[in-house]
């Protein structure tokens, strides 16, 4: 299937772990995911553990940061960045990603909303502190880093288990979906939140909705009108009409 992107005004692409598998990053969640093999890390990646011991998220994510620092974008990331660059003035293609690896931006995409944060960013643990989140690729953290402005512990800027998704990116996504005319979900489960909520909003707005994944939707989600099966790095370049560019 090849889409004619010129027909669309506001495209929203939700991406998940399946998009980064070809970059050597294994999914965190689900069967065969990182957490399933590292139950002790999973316990430390929770809001509760971080509240009891602010070093807990550093211990878990220092290892994962190393994998992200070594990964490079694959053909799926590049296809999305190329498609965005080809959008005409007054139209937009926005990526809403559950991934925390920063690979969309590394591929050149500029409209990227990160709903689970970014592993290569650090922020103050106090949400009302005015220290801006900053890029940080440190992979070895021996002592708890503290905020230069308020002395609170610093933390990786990712959403821990048991935490709400950040308000601003979720609000931005809802605004976009309200007026979207093409919605793609790529490499993510189409039946659980947030994909299941996002596709319903897009469908309500009258968008064409397409599910792209290795595995078919199970159980089926009628809000997705079409389904394309295959690895994201093979499907997207063809679907977006940017193969070989």
Which positions touch Zn ion (CB under 5 A)? 124, 126, 129, 131, 147, 149-150, 152
Active site residue 77: no
Smallest separation, CB 172 to Zn ion (Å): 24
Question: Please, which residue, 55 or 243, has the CB nearer to Zn ion?
Answer: 55
Residues facing 40 on adjacent strands: none
Pick from 122, 126, 132, 148: nearest CA to 58: 122
Smallest separation, CB 113 to Zn ion (Å): 24
From residue 15, alpha-carbon distances to 4, 59, 114, 232 in Å are 20, 27, 10, 10
Across the chain, where does the E strand assignment appear?
Answer: 10-15, 92-97, 112-114, 117-124, 134-135, 154-158, 182-186, 208-213, 226-229
Smallest separation, CB 133 to Zn ion (Å): 11
Question: Please, which residue, 104 or 123, has the CB nearer to Zn ion?
Answer: 123
Question: Please, which residue, 131 or 165, has the CB nearer to Zn ion?
Answer: 131
Smallest separation, CB 204 to Zn ion (Å): 39
Q: CB within 8 A of 14, min separation 6: which ones?
A: 95, 96, 97, 98, 183, 184, 185, 186, 188, 194, 195, 198
* HSE (side-chain half, CA atoms, 13 Å) at 73: 16
Question: Please, which residue, 40 or 128, has the CB nearer to Zn ion?
Answer: 128
From residue 232, alpha-carbon distances to 18, 30, 181 in Å are 7, 18, 21
Question: Please, which residue, 6 or 149, has the CB nearer to Zn ion?
Answer: 149
* Catalytic entry in 38, 77, 104, 116: 116
Smallest separation, CB 123 to Zn ion (Å): 8
Residues marked active site are found at: 116
């Amino acid at each position: 299937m090849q889409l004619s992107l010129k027909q669309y005004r506001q495209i929203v692409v939700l991406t998940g772990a399946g998009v980064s598998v070809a970059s050597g990053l294994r999914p965190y969640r689900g069967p065969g995911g990182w957490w399933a093999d590292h139950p002790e890390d999973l316990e430390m990646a929770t809001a509760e553990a971080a509240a009891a011991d602010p070093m807990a998220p550093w211990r878990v994510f220092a290892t994962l940061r190393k994998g992200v620092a070594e990964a490079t974008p694959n053909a799926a990331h590049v296809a999305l960045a190329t498609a965005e660059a080809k959008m005409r003035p007054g139209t937009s293609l926005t990526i809403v990603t559950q991934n925390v690896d920063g690979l969309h931006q590394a591929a050149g995409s500029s409209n990227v909303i990160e709903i689970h944060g970014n592993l290569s960013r650090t922020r103050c643990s106090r949400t009302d502190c005015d220290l801006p989140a900053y890029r940080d690729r440190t992979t070895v953290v021996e002592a708890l880093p503290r905020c230069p402005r308020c002395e609170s512990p610093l933390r990786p800027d990712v959403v821990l288990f048991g935490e709400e998704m950040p308000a601003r990116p979720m609000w931005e996504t809802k605004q976009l979906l309200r007026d979207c005319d093409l919605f793609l979900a790529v490499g993510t489960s189409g039946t659980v939140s947030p994909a299941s909520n996002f596709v319903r909003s897009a469908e309500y707005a009258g968008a064409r909705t397409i599910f792209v994944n290795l595995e078919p939707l199970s159980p089926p989600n009628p809000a997705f009108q079409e389904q394309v099966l295959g690895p994201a790095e093979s499907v997207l370049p063809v679907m977006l009409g940017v193969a070989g560019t």
